[in-house]
Amino acid sequence: MVDWVMGIHAKYGPVVRTGPDELSFIGPRAWQDIYITRPQLPKTNKGRIQSINGAPVIVTQTITEEHSRQRRILSPAFSERAVREQEDILKHYTDLLITKLTEHVGQTEKKSSITLDMNRWYNYTTFDIVGDLIFNDPFHSLENSADHPWVAAVFDGTKFGMLMTAFDYFPPMPSVVKCVMPQSIRKAAAKHFQWSQEKITRRMQMQTKRPDLMTYILGNNQGEEKMSRDEIDSNGAFFILAGSETSALTCSSATFFFLKKPAVYEKLRKEIRDAFECADDITSQAANKLPYLRAVIWEALRLHPPAAVSSPRLVDRPGVVVDGHDIPVGVSLSIYFEYPPLSLPPSACYCFPFCPYRLTLSYNPQEPEEVQDS
Ligand code: HEM
């Protein structure tokens, strides 16, 4: 879908119709106008799977006030302060990843012939991090160098979710697919939800001083706005999906792309080695300041978006202008890839090869790509 939309943008320009009442944008003001503008444009129902217990999850919440209510409770868990406080958890699992990779390399005599499936290793890492961050209980995938059965269930469920998202654009299809859907997929989704519920119950009963996402959510969940237990369950199950495979896939694509381009790899390696004297100096805050590293990640997101669907917003009032275009009420607006928070000229968006240099401040469109990334 993303490739198809990018293709029609390349042919027809920065705004294209992708359906009778749907527009996709790629121009430099579009992100600001669609997603950042206030009052915010509501999410649309299309392509959004509802949770098993029927309680709305933040990501599928289409009622703006309800979305804002959940967001007020959840957002402290994602603040910079929270990330800082959870740094030890992140560090523990990244260190464990390196230890495990080193062990695997060490076990093989012919080091030049080692093949490691990095996608698998990144998934072990991100699932362990997310499990520990949310439930104070990791999946122990890194320790065991193996998938937890939950993770396999999540993958099956995700494939089904993506299919249903696509079918939602062809109205009779979701009902047809639900009738013929294999029992195993239904069971995988139900199991994922049940496991999340059980872990959340255990976490709620746990006395712990170690801050995790639940510390913030439970601590902040007070008063009339408070989230119900069903809402906490549906959001908890969503966080596992939202935070793990997405992050693992981003790491996998970035690794794939920079290994394909030795000049990028060299530049990235140099930036990191120059910035840190030893591994212990690397923190999320410090890493976040490295411009080329950020650019490599944004390029991986642009070329290989883990959430390979759009995040549509509905025009619910007259006078909405997106990237200089007046948009009528009722139209749904999308950007089909995770877009860097920089104003890029539209020509840069149509440039398909992996080219992180374009996203750094020293970008000069006149320079050939090889010069920029060497
Ligand atoms: C590279 C990694 C990630 C990608 C590509 C990604 C992608 C997305 C996208 C596209 C949305 C917007 C959906 C929409 O509004 O329609 C979203 C929302 C969200 N994501 Fe992520 N995500 C990532 C990592 C994470 C992580 C690590 C967490 C936390 C565990 C997380 C939690 C959320 C939440 C709570 C929302 C809902 C925000 C709201 O509606 O206000 N995501 N993500």
Q: For residue range 127-183, what is the model confidence (pLDDT) as tens digits? A: 999 999 988 888 899 999 888 888 877 777 777 777 777 787 787 887 887 787 778
Distance between Cα 271 and ligand 1 center (Å): 28
Which segment of 31-35, 87-91, 111-115 scores lowest on mean pLDDT?
111-115
Residue nearest to atom 10 of ligand 1 (CA): 307
Which segment of 63-77, 92-106, 328-342 scores lowest on mean pLDDT?
328-342
**pTM for the model:** 0.87
Residue nearest to atom 30 of ligand 1 (CA): 243
Residue nearest to atom 12 of ligand 1 (CA): 311
Distance between Cα 280 and ligand 1 center (Å): 28
Distance between Cα 108 and ligand 1 center (Å): 38
* Pocket-testing residue among 1, 51, 129, 246, ligand 1, by greatest number of atoms within 8 A of Cβ: 246
Give the residue with greater pLDDT, 27 vs 70: 70
Distance between Cα 59 and ligand 1 center (Å): 8
Q: For residue range 288-314, what is the model confidence (pLDDT) as tens digits? A: 999 999 999 988 988 888 887 788 999
Quick check: 115 pLDDT over 50? yes
pLDDT computed for residue 348 by the predictor: 55
pLDDT computed for residue 346 by the predictor: 47
Residue nearest to atom 8 of ligand 1 (CA): 307
Q: For residue range 55-67, what is the model confidence (pLDDT) as tens digits? A: 989 988 889 899 9
Residue nearest to atom 25 of ligand 1 (CA): 243
Distance between Cα 238 and ligand 1 center (Å): 10
Residues whose CB is less than 8 angstroms from the CB of residue 150 and which lie 6 or more positions away in sequence, other chains included: 139, 191, 192, 195
pLDDT above 70 coverage of the chain, percent: 90
Residue nearest to atom 33 of ligand 1 (CA): 242
Residue nearest to atom 24 of ligand 1 (CA): 243
Quick check: 51 pLDDT over 80? yes
CA distances from 230 to 43, 51, 52, 54 (A): 21, 10, 10, 8
Q: Which ligand 1 atom is at minimum distance from the Cα of 305?
A: 5
Provide the pairing of β-strand 15-19 with 320-322: unpaired
- Give the amino acid at 275: A
Q: Phi/psi at 5 (nearest 5 deg)?
A: -65, -40
Residue nearest to atom 6 of ligand 1 (CA): 246
| Token pair 């690794």 in the structure block, residue | 255
pLDDT computed for residue 310 by the predictor: 80
d(CA 76, CA 12): 41
Distance between Cα 91 and ligand 1 center (Å): 21
CA Rg, the chain, in Å? 22
pLDDT computed for residue 247 by the predictor: 95
Q: Is 259 within 8 Å of 244 (Cβ atoms)?
A: no
Quick check: 99 pLDDT over 80? yes
CA distances from 182 to 52, 185, 186, 189 (A): 17, 6, 7, 12
Distance between Cα 134 and ligand 1 center (Å): 15
User: Which residues approach ligand 1 with their CB closer than 6 A?
Assistant: 43, 58-59, 71, 130, 239, 242-243, 246-247, 250, 306-307, 311, 338
Q: Is 125 within 8 Å of 97 (Cβ atoms)?
A: yes
Q: Which ligand 1 atom is at minimum distance from the Cα of 74?
A: 35
d(CA 144, CA 171): 44
